[in-house]
Amino acid sequence: MSSLTVSRILHAGYVFDCEGVRIAFDTIFENPFSRNLHAFPSVRFDEAAIRRQRFDAVFISHFHDDHCSLDSLDLLDRATPLYLYCIFDELFDMLGRLGFTDVQRLHLNAPVRIGPFEVTPREAMDAEVDSMFQVRAAGLNVLNVVDSWIDDATLACLVAQKPWDLVLWPFQTMRELEVLAPTRSEPAPPALPQEWLDQLRALAPRCVVPSSCQFALEPWSWYNRAFFPISYAHFTREVAAALPDARVVRLDPSVSVTLDAALGAEMLRPAPPLPWVMPVGPQNVDYVYEGNADAPPTSEIARHFPALTAAQWARVLDFCRTGLPERYADTEAASDYFERPRIWQLSIYDHAGACTRWRYRLEDGAATPAMEDDGPLGWSTEVPAAKLYAALELGESLTSMYLRVNDAEFDAATERELVQADVIDDPLIRALFSEGFGAYQQAQLRRLLAR
């Protein structure tokens, strides 16, 4: 019987090799990727060598830019078959415009056969966004959970597919929203959710890889001590305690292992690394979590970013004057906090830490200019100018914008009402990210086609 080699690219990216057939998943060949997510541990990519690679198929689990990046896909031969799980036609159109000639839509529970591989997309908790992959080859059964959550119905389906030889499990409970409002968020305990451990026990895999989180923010970023509660060491301890018969294996970028069903308990052994993924610096690094980590003021954070050009600053100002009110009118809040009129203050910090403030009255789905004496402040948002421009023109995601929400003390009545508000109802977040689909990929495509 043949064997299966699994190699880590980065984050949720893997290469599977069986009988000389190679398929890849969520191919990211960038550091940093998603503009400001830095590989952890650090690597660099040999782009010339990647251009020479010939994959028999590439599978993409969903459209998020840390899984589907046109800059990375641009390195691949245009005849490479791409299999994409996405409900939005726009992304298929973008891949076609980039030149790919064989782009297929994945359907849940419908297997795709590539040589010795059978790849079956499985339903994630948010089926409008994510998918997982079940991979069968060489008599082995692998579950790539990517970075999705699993509901009870899907878990029952997956348990019925046992035994599992290898599970690639997303190991971080990232605090993407909590770091937006550090003064209003409790530090998370550094522990795996109990449901993860229960699900892993139900799946009972022989081997588990802590997967789908291999990035940090900029070296100076306070997020690096507040964003990631789970270390590799902690994941290993908790999973090993919950699954005493399983082997927990860390795969850093470039690292490969071969699985051979004929070897039984010793089925996993080291394999040669990917030569085009090149480790940089120490690789045995781990996450350190310090709660809310004394979040520095936005004025200080903004000093880490370059000055905007006159044209770029004009773009930001024009957005604040006209674009933002127009976009806000098309959004809806998730909670009822904004059902009554609120005064919102938006503070924009330039590269020198200087602040430009805007006030708006939010009422009946409209954002109109407001003055200091138009009423008590009901919401506040701070953002570096460079990051606001990047979100407008370059597809910057919320993860690395350093937005700060409600870092202020409001009057007593407002404070009581804010307890029920959702940070994602922030007016700037809604105005930036409620319009259209695939802003990051669209910005990439514009740049790539303009070469």
Residues pairing with 117 in the sheet: 114
Domain covering 4-279 assigned CATH 3.90.170.10 in the classification: no
The topology (CATH level 3) of 298-449 is Nonspecific Lipid-transfer Protein; Chain A (3.30.1050)
d(CA 17, CA 2): 10
- Reading the chain (451 residues) residue by residue, the pLDDT tens digits are 689 999 999 999 999 999 999 999 999 999 999 989 999 999 999 999 999 999 999 999 999 999 999 999 999 999 999 999 999 999 999 999 999 999 999 999 999 999 999 999 999 999 999 999 999 999 999 999 999 999 999 999 999 999 999 999 999 999 999 999 999 998 888 899 999 999 999 999 999 999 999 999 999 999 999 999 999 999 999 999 999 999 999 999 999 999 998 876 678 999 999 999 999 999 999 999 998 888 999 999 999 999 999 999 999 999 999 999 999 998 988 889 999 999 999 999 999 999 999 999 999 889 999 998 888 999 999 999 999 999 999 888 899 999 999 999 999 999 999 998 999 999 999 999 876 678 889 989 999 999 8
Supply the pTM of this predicted model.
Answer: 0.94
Strands 14-18 and 4-8: antiparallel
Give me the DSSP letters along 35-72.
TTBEESS-EEE-HHHHHT---SEEEE----TTT--HHH
- Hey, where are the domains in the chain? 4-279, 298-449
80: amino acid identity, one letter: T
d(CA 47, CA 121): 29
Q: Which residues contact 421 (CB under 8 A, 6 or more apart)?
A: 335, 337
Q: Residue 199's CB: how many other CB atoms inside 10 A? A: 20
d(CA 351, CA 386): 8
d(CA 229, CA 259): 30
Preceding amide of 41 cis, omega within 30:
yes
For residue 238, give both structure tokens: 């908790």
Q: How many CA atoms lie within 13 A of 379 on its CB side?
A: 28
C-alpha closest to that of 425 among 337, 349, 343: 337
402: amino acid identity, one letter: Y
CB of 7 closer than 8 Å to CB of 14? yes
